[in-house]
Amino acid sequence: MKNVKAPTSDSYREDLIESLHEPEEAAGFIGAILEEKDPEPALLRNAIRKVVEARIRMNTLSESAKQHHEKLDKMLAESEGSEIYSLVELLEALGFKLEITVADTELSPDSEAEIGESELSPEPVVINPS
């Protein structure tokens, strides 16, 4: 199915972006791409871009997420996702499955700035020697 271009329409694209506002939909969208038996790196990059676009439109993309996306997009462009797909294949060979799920808590860009790093990190465990 490589190099096949499906017709696109603005209304389909807009509906897709709108549906990706829901975290469960976005997770399923990326997860479905990773489950493909014939991986197509361009599809993975495109899926991630659409999820990022949905977050931008909702004004919920943090600066940190933007930077991570730019870095990952560059890596996917250079390696065609070989590392990611190799990880997926290894996990499957070991009897595991990589799954994309929604995190328990989501931070908006504003709330992320208000919370200090120490509040996001777990308390260090101190072991007193006997």
Give domain status of residue 95, yes or no. Answer: yes
Does the pLDDT at position 97 exceed 70? yes
Does the pLDDT at position 107 exceed 70? no
Domain that holds residue 115: 11-120
CA distance 45 to 69: 10
* Closest by Cα among 77, 56, 75 to 66: 56
Give domain status of residue 55, yes or no. Answer: yes
Give domain status of residue 30, yes or no. Answer: yes
Give domain status of residue 39, yes or no. Answer: yes
Give domain status of residue 99, yes or no. Answer: yes
What per-residue confidence (pLDDT) applies to 66? 92
Q: Which of 24-28, 41-45, 125-129 has the highest mean pLDDT?
A: 24-28
Give domain status of residue 126, yes or no. Answer: no
Q: Which of 29-33, 37-41, 91-95, 116-120 has the lowest mean pLDDT?
A: 116-120
Give domain status of residue 71, yes or no. Answer: yes
CB burial of residue 51 (10 Å; 0-12, 13-18, 19+): buried
Mean pLDDT of the chain: 78
* Residue 118: band (very low, low, confident or very high) from pLDDT cuts 50, 70, 90: very low
Q: Which of 11-15, 77-81, 110-114 has the lowest mean pLDDT?
A: 110-114
Give domain status of residue 128, yes or no. Answer: no
Whole-model pTM: value is 0.66
